[in-house]
Structure 1
Amino acid sequence: MARILLIDDDLNLLQMVKLMLTRVGHEVDTTSSGEEGLTIAARQRPDMAIIDVMMPGLSGYDVVRKMRQEPRTARIPIIILTARSQPMDKHMALEAGANAFLSKPVTAQELTERVDAVLEAGVDYRVHTGLLTEPASQPVQPGSPDTSPTPEAPAVPSPVPSSPPAETPSDRKPIGVAEAQQRKVTGPLPASLPLITVIGLRGGTGSTTLAVNLAALWAGAGRRVCLADFSAVSGHAQLHLHLTPQQHWGQLLNAGDAPDPRALPRLLTVHQKSGIALLGAPPIPTHSTLSARMVQGVLRELSSTFDQVVVDAPTLDTATRGALLASRAVVVVMTDDPPAVQTTAQFLAGLQSMNIEMGRVRVVLNHVRPAADIPAETIQKALRRPLSAEIPYDTEQTNAIRRGVPLVVSDANRPFSKAVQQLARTIAG
């Protein structure tokens, strides 16, 4: 997991929060002094800092400001933890440069969910109550030049233009309006589009991680790949890729049930390091979603242009149902805890009731913690079907998200990457 620096002058709370974090696999360094915390942060460069506000000497706000001014610590995500819970306190924390704000007392679930959300979002995003994420008003920049290595800052791309854009690293032919018009497909949805839907049945299963890495793997093999994130609550695919799309599928909400093939290519944003073309989610959560017919129309158009389309489906809503019915393969991502086993069994029964051929379904066990709750063999017996893949827990995954480069791209030989490669072969077979 992550290495976290905890700064709080309340020794009892310091130990309690440390226990909460270590129980879920994080490595925690502690100090009760803001000054010492700055020294530790500059020396160790942790993956995150959690800082109390009310401390003798330097306050938590002072520590945050100094970390943002110091090149060696400027890009460390920070959570402010305080007993003060007024709106002004939250405003001051975010203005100082924190990425999130938590009020004491905090439960283990609240803490771990907020920590996971901030680690996944990265330093250039703020995570609010309800785990809603938004870009920071200004990307975090060091206060002065720094010659030592730091995590790569995410680039802010421009929308893919209608005229031919720059070629991707694999020199694939760019996607433009003219090609989309020439290859327009009409009529009923094909029975077998080059479409894969990856769905997690609840937050924290790692379904977005798998969707992004599958897309990157196929793009690296020379295919033209589109990744569609149909989340209605600030999708995470763009966070994994460090993209901030100016265009997104939310601009289709008032377009009826059929997409304009001339407009669709302009909604895509290319991730230059992998070659993935992303159809991103709206940056502001929306209560609306695309109709099943609109989703199928979008997927029809994308499938006429791309060799492979991967859908990141966060939940079973109208948009996801449209994608599931059109998919050549459905990847159901689950974790190794008892609730996940029960939920997955119920979901598989639901897919059968939707008349989705179970031969198209791949169940994947994704280990999101170092230790497994339930062995894979037990899960297979409970589901009465084999697992298509077992993805190992990998500490490097957090760093891959922070860099904005999928792990299958940055290190194809890690066990995680090897497991994703095997999953891709299983899907193809």
Structure 2
Amino acid sequence: MAQTILIIDDDIDTLKLVGIMLERKGFRILASTTGEKGLQMANKEYPDLILLDVMIPDISGYEIARSIRTNPATENTPIIMFTARSQVDDKVEGLEAGADAYITKPARPRELFAQINSVLKRSPQRSSSSGTAAAEKGTLIGVVSAKGGIGNSTLATNLAIEIHNQSGKETILTDFRPGQGTIGMDLDVQNTNGLIKLLDEEPGIDISDFFPDVLMEHKSGIKTLLSSHHPSDSKYITHIEQFLQIVKELPKLAAYTVLDLGPSLTPINSAVLPKCDKVLICLEPSPSNITQTRILIQDLIIRGLGDGRFITVLINRQRSGVQLSWEQAENLLERKINQIFTPVPELAYQAAAKNIPIIQRPEESMTADQFRDLAKLVLD
């Protein structure tokens, strides 16, 4: 898992631009537009470095830095102040408040990268511990959409198998949808109670020893941790603490974990998505759904997810001449669509009927190639 940088800045454009640049350099980005939320994220996420603006409406950057330095849990977190205030007195106050470096906006990307790397290197204890964590933890890949019925579960299933095929590494597929799970039926997995067993435990209980009993090996080579399809099990959607415990453990068990999170920003998704290293956002080529998806992405950015974490996937489920084209969809979405799936209703039906994922069917298909392309994109 990459080192994490928390950006606290009330300027949305700065958050997006700097966040994308840093994610391209391999960092995991968290973001906040308010000081209060930024402090909460610092105390909860323990970032490897904080990039901090001074002029934040609710709490000044100086006060945020002092608060971080007086908290034993965050007192050693490196802080770089990144602000338009350029007077000597401003710099002195920032450094006295606890900043490790002070950069004046606008700064060239090379200067910003150099300062970040320099500050991280000067924090050997944190860098060393982060390196250990990175060696032990795998990548979390969330699959979400603005509404249901788009094909998230089919995509998550085939993607997990192809990631395993291409990487040759341990891969887990799970669906955080108690009472609505369909992956178990699609794969003909008999035991779909694994997730429920973990959710039944009391919050705070060490669940690490339970995973050998609940992870099921699939013939494709992946492991599964699946939700029940019994509607009565929907009661577990309120067990947010347990979901977060599971998310904390899964990256220790596999190089890659694909999470089918279903639609919308449910309480589960609101808690889990910030933990994901990559977020696949599925949409269909209809004006209403693309508008919904654009709003979903905006909400995710406001909640602190860096823009560079997103991979947008356009899924055509039906052949129709009245759907939007790829170019029209991009224009309405106001962002690039990274992968498109062409409609193959017959192939999808046969795959479900025979419990054989599309990527494993013997005949070659354009859809299988599209899953391979998507897996390559995720693994990059």
TM-score w.r.t. structure 2 length? 0.59
| Structure with the bigger percentage of helix | 2
Residue 329, structure 1, aligned to residue 275, structure 2: no
Structure 1 residues 342 and 363, CA gap change in structure 2 (3 angstroms) = same
- Note the C-alpha offset of 1:412: 7.1
- Note the C-alpha offset of 1:294: 2.6
For the Cα contact (< 8 Å) 2:351–2:357, is it kept in 1?
A: yes
**Distance of 2:142 and 2:279 partners within structure 1:** 5
Residue 401, structure 1, aligned to residue 352, structure 2: yes
- Note the C-alpha offset of 1:292: 4.0
**Distance of 1:193 and 1:359 partners within structure 2:** 18
- 1:16 matched residue in structure 2: none
**Structure 2 residue corresponding to 1:346, chosen from 290, 295, 300:** 295
Secondary structure of the 1:401 match is helix
Segments of 4+ in structure 1 off by > 6 A? 189-192
**Distance of 1:220 and 1:200 partners within structure 2:** 25
For the Cα contact (< 8 Å) 1:292–1:320, is it kept in 2?
A: no
- 1:309 matched residue in structure 2: 257
- 2:120 matched residue in structure 1: none
- Note the C-alpha offset of 1:384: 1.2
- Note the C-alpha offset of 1:209: 0.7
**Structure 1 residue corresponding to 2:337, chosen from 353, 366, 387:** 387
Sequence identity percentage = 20
- Note the C-alpha offset of 1:214: 0.4
For the Cα contact (< 8 Å) 1:199–1:331, is it kept in 2?
A: yes
Identify the structure with bigger relative contact order (alpha carbons < 8 Å, sequence gap 6+).
Answer: 2
Structure 1 residues 318 and 256, CA gap change in structure 2 (3 angstroms) = farther
**Distance of 2:238 and 2:250 partners within structure 1:** 16
Structure 1 residues 282 and 426, CA gap change in structure 2 (3 angstroms) = same
- 1:288 matched residue in structure 2: 236
- Note the C-alpha offset of 1:411: 4.1
**Distance of 1:236 and 1:271 partners within structure 2:** 15
- 2:308 matched residue in structure 1: 359
Structure 1 residues 197 and 322, CA gap change in structure 2 (3 angstroms) = same
**Structure 1 residue corresponding to 2:324, chosen from 366, 374, 390:** 374
Aligned residues, how many? 243
- Supply the AA of the counterpart residue of 2:340: E
- 1:277 matched residue in structure 2: 223
For the Cα contact (< 8 Å) 2:145–2:293, is it kept in 1?
A: no
Secondary structure of the 2:141 match is strand
Gaps of 5+ in 2: 1-128
**Distance of 1:349 and 1:403 partners within structure 2:** 39
- Supply the AA of the counterpart residue of 1:269: M
For the Cα contact (< 8 Å) 2:144–2:282, is it kept in 1?
A: yes
Structure 1 residues 310 and 383, CA gap change in structure 2 (3 angstroms) = same
For the Cα contact (< 8 Å) 1:247–1:266, is it kept in 2?
A: no
For the Cα contact (< 8 Å) 1:411–1:417, is it kept in 2?
A: no
- 1:43 matched residue in structure 2: none
For the Cα contact (< 8 Å) 1:366–1:392, is it kept in 2?
A: yes
Secondary structure of the 1:364 match is strand
**Distance of 1:427 and 1:400 partners within structure 2:** 23
For the Cα contact (< 8 Å) 1:229–1:235, is it kept in 2?
A: yes
Residue 226, structure 1, aligned to residue 172, structure 2: yes
Alpha-carbon deviations, 1:149-180, whole Å to 9, x = none? xxxxxxxxxxxxxxxxxxxxxxxxxxxxxxxx
Secondary structure of the 2:190 match is coil
**Distance of 2:229 and 2:252 partners within structure 1:** 27
For the Cα contact (< 8 Å) 1:212–1:227, is it kept in 2?
A: yes
Alpha-carbon deviations, 1:54-99, whole Å to 9, x = none? xxxxxxxxxxxxxxxxxxxxxxxxxxxxxxxxxxxxxxxxxxxxxx
**Distance of 1:378 and 1:192 partners within structure 2:** 39
- Supply the AA of the counterpart residue of 2:158: N
**Structure 2 residue corresponding to 1:205, chosen from 115, 136, 150:** 150
Alpha-carbon deviations, 1:294-353, whole Å to 9, x = none? 323212322112121000011332222233111111001111112211110110111011
